[in-house]
Amino acid sequence: MMSNESQTTDLENIRNYAKKLTEDAYTLALSHFYRANWWGKLHYFWGGAAIIFSAAAGTSLLYEPPELQKIAGLFALCSSIIIALVTFAKPHKEEQDHYRSGSRFITLYYNAWAIWKVEYARNTEEEKKLSDELHKLIKEMGEIDKISPRIPESTWIKALENCKNHFDESYVIPVKKPRWKFW
């Protein structure tokens, strides 16, 4: 039979890991939301540039001087390049993938938060349930991370900086790269 001190220590360890999982899930969710926003802005920027170059090319063709027709050809070429970039980079799909991953990490965040913040009765039956639930969340975090698009380090750092304001003073910011593998 376990002593009360051992049970308390085990329960505290579970709650501490749930707290860390909460922090990591929140940081990852923010990272993905920031990246989705970046891809969305890039999509509109490329689309706007393609429209402007196409309109300029069409307008230039209406005039007689050969110099303007050469400019029209240049504008048409620029427009084609931008459209090719949008076609192959698929910024809209990247935006959706990052948003979807961010949403899944937020769900995980709330589940881990419930374990971290809710006071369970301090007995072995409740402790076992709590431990089992935490292991499910850890596995879920790994699964979400496997299917998530990569996050550049600059986006990760931006999310970490935001998390300093969200969590208490014990939240530790990794110096360089996240624990979870993205690269």
25 pLDDT more than 80: yes
Per-residue pLDDT tens digits for 71-117: 888 888 888 898 888 888 888 888 888 888 888 888 888 778 777 77
Per-residue pLDDT tens digits for 58-67: 877 777 777 7
179 pLDDT more than 80: no
- Nearest 5°: the CA angle 66, 72, 78 is 145
Is the pTM here over 0.75, yes or no?
no
Token code pair at residue 12: 């505290």
CB 51 within 8 A of CB 183: no
Contacts of 9 (CB under 8 A, 6+ apart): none
Question: What confidence category does residue 183 fall into, taking pLDDT thresholds of 50, 70 and 90?
Answer: very low
Long-range CB contacts (within 8 A, 24+) of 174-183 = 177/153, 178/24, 178/27, 178/28, 179/24, 180/24, 180/28, 180/141, 180/145, 181/145, 182/145, 182/148, 182/150, 182/151, 182/156, 183/150
What average pLDDT does the segment 29-35 reach? 87
Residue 62 is classified by DSSP as T
Pick the more confident residue, 137 or 10. Answer: 137
